Amino acid sequence: MPDAIEVRKVPIHSVADASELAKLIDDGVMQADRVIAIIGKTEGNGGVNDYTRIIADRAFREVLVEKGADADAVKQVPIVWSGGTDGVISPHATIFATIPPEHVVPSEEPRLTVGFAMSEVLQPEDIGRVAMVAKVADAVKVAMERAGITDVADVHYVQTKTPLLTVHTIRDAKSRGKTVWTEHTHESMDLSNGCTALGIAVALGEIEMPTDADVMHNRDLYSAVASCSSGVELDQAQVVVVGNAAGVGGRYRIGHSVMNDALDADGIWDAIRSAGLDLPERPHTSDLDGRLVNVFLKCEVSQDGVVRGRRNAMLDDSDVHWHRQIKSAVGGVTAAVTGDPAVFVSVSAAHQGPDGGGPVAAIVDLG
């Protein structure tokens, strides 16, 4: 049985700041050598060259080592950064740590559990193809097992980080006589995320194994719990499975739903209800009563350029990429629900939730 989980959300005060993690450890809320995952938002451009992710990664790992965690072990801790805090979204990190068994009150109620795995190496020619789908699916199953989850219905959030294509990796593939799905590096961000989501969906039985032709084209194929990010930091799929398991104990529980479009605030409320909070039919931020730890969303521009029957110009805008526009819009909707701009809203949601919408996961403190 895996250990119970402590989870806290902390602000990031500057690009290289990890002082709030240090404070949690100094205050005894969690131990440095028990931190098992960190998921956060950094304030960069969210693109291929968003180095704020690398800066934040280094800052948080340095604090863990400084506070007593083994340096080699810290290198293996999954830290997933989503770049870009457009609009009101505020830079922050959600930190997951295990609790010493002697400090946990046993409970058979479903409570938060986390599992982590790395896939086989993803070659540049794998990205966007069934080979990547299969490698991701295998890693998801390993992470589920490590989380102590036996029923796929108990998986509510799968956060991944995968490689995208760069000029260097494209050149590498060509030198070996291979082809790549695209030579546009920014497009490969959407591609890597979407292909990864299909791997998650396959692992959880949400869909059958797709074909290469389905990737990025058949938007009816998606996962309702996938949250996929990509970057230049790694060459494998880094997979964090978050769900509930009976017997682990702890105070926290996770649930999920989907936003059907960019304005679907009800989808966010449904995720919070799914996590276990009893809310009125027409809830207000005040009904959360400080029990919501964080929400995690993916968002995407609808491929038809329409929201609720009204045309928008995001896909035609040559000045500001649609990634930044939809992230800002959904970030505002989300913050209006939670009353807190420190929300995890990430763009590029191909095959993650319905077209034009996206998955929502919510973690709550049940006390």
- Which token pair is 242? 């978050």
Q: Provide the pLDDT for residue 269.
A: 98
The catalytic position among 135, 161, 298, 327 is 161
Least Cα distance to 5 among 160, 116, 162 occurs for 116
The catalytic position among 229, 257, 274, 348 is 229
pLDDT in tens, the chain (367 residues): 899 999 999 999 999 999 999 999 999 999 999 999 999 999 999 888 889 999 999 999 999 999 999 999 999 999 999 999 999 999 999 999 999 999 997 788 999 999 999 999 999 999 999 999 999 999 999 999 999 999 999 999 999 999 999 999 999 999 999 999 999 998 999 999 999 999 999 999 999 999 999 999 999 999 999 999 998 878 999 999 999 999 999 999 999 999 999 999 999 999 999 999 999 999 999 999 999 999 999 999 999 999 999 999 999 999 999 999 999 999 999 999 999 999 999 999 999 999 999 999 999 999 8
Annotated active-site residue 161? The verdict is: yes
Q: Provide the pLDDT for residue 81.
A: 92
Residue with tokens 């919501």: 292
- What are the two backbone dihedrals, phi and then psi, of residue 205, each rounded to the nearest 5 degrees? 75, 20
Q: Provide the pLDDT for residue 147.
A: 97
Helix (H) / strand (E) element for 116: namely strand 110-121
Annotated active-site residue 229? The verdict is: yes
For helices 322-338 and 265-275, angle between their N-to-C axes, nearest 10 degrees:
50
pLDDT tens string 339-356? 999 999 999 999 999 999
